[in-house]
Amino acid sequence: MAYSDFFNFEIIKTATDSNARAGLFTTPHGQIETPIFMPVGTNSSVKMLTNDQILATGAQIILANSYHMYLRAGTKRVKSAGGLHGWMNFHKPILTDSGGFQVFSLAKLRKITQDGVYFQDPKNGSKHFISPEISMEIQEDLGADIIMAFDECAPYPCDYKQARSALDKTKKWLERCFEAHKNYSQALFPIVQGAFFDDLRKESAEFVSKFDAAGYAIGGVSVGEPTDIKNHITEITAPLLPFNKPRYLMGVGTPIDLINGIKYGVDMFDCVLPTRNARHGTFFTYQGNKIIKNKQFEDDFTPLDEKCNCYACRNHTKAYIRHLYKTQEATAATLLSIHNIHFLINLAKDLRNSIINGNFHEYSQELLKGFES
């Protein structure tokens, strides 16, 4: 048995003037048209939205966070409910991250060793240990279609010695992840690390490519670095990964990020930004980000974006949503979340169509002018 018994990635069309490509990724719970933006459901729920609302945005796949599910709810309880698909009653593809990024972001509350990571729950002080093997067990219990290797994410900024150490652990831990994980109905994605050093990134990309995985991820970006550095790392790393497998850029998800990432050859994106921004009153438009609480929208009876056909834009005006936000009605965050998620999913869909139609460069440049305004 192999991953190819459950997963398949077909490249439909490639752009002639960049590394952009349109693909079709088949998983046990359905097909995913790539490039794709994936909404994040940290605690097995995309914040503020029901499953019906998630599906109405056009979402083809969502994420859950194994670290948070391990600490709250408990992965054995989720397993008893039929894994995340049964627990959530959500029957499209699901991806879980390994929890590594959350553990390493705890800083003073964790200790990294060669065996794994000891850490304290910041909410109640309880002590825990996660190793590559335990991470695989947690994610197997959760039952997602795509699971991530346990890795060490070096911070930004960091020196070469620190980045080297993190990469060495990541490489050893990846071998242990593959040794521990034998369920081929769950695709284990290796993660490229190496911080912001070109030679380490290339070394990591070459190393993960030796594993016969169903897909590969680029981690350790969008951790506070300038945009030009993030773009550089993505541009040099993505083409080094196997051409015939999906490439996932972790934790990245602004409209401009999607355009640049797709240009460099990335197929999958995720980010908490659409829902987080929504809760703070910010929404995407084709003329850049806007803030709903601004007085300019007090008597604006037009949709959030004239080109958008999400539920919020079809049914409500900026003036109404601004009123909800100013009066602290939770529905405002729901409507803005629906819009922001739909906006990114639809943007990826339109960029996919431009690749197929052979005008990706022209279309993406036109979009960038609006977003950068």
HSE at residue 123, side-chain half, CA atoms within 13 A, is 3
Nearest by Cα to 259 from 189, 171, 348: 348
Backbone φ and ψ of 262, nearest 5°: -65, -40
Of 97, 141, 145, 151, the active-site residue reads: 97
Q: Which residues contact 329 (CB under 8 A, 6 or more apart)?
A: none
- d(CA 344, CA 106) in angstroms, rounded, equals 29
Other beta carbons within 10 angstroms of residue 226's beta carbon come to 10
User: Which helix (H) or strand (E) segment is 291 a member of?
Assistant: strand 290-291
Give yes or no: 299 in active site: no
Structural tokens at position 34: 């790539």
Structural tokens at position 349: 């869909």
Of 257, 270, 299, 305, the active-site residue reads: 270
Scored b (16 or more CB within 10 A) or e, 232-260 reads bbbbebbebbbeebbbbbbbbbbbebbbb
Give yes or no: 52 in active site: no
Q: Which residues contact 260 (CB under 8 A, 6 or more apart)?
A: 231, 234
* Cα angle 317, 320, 326; round to 5: 135
The CA-atom distances, in angstroms, between 297 and each of 293, 325, 328 are 7, 12, 16
Which residues are the active-site residues? 97, 270
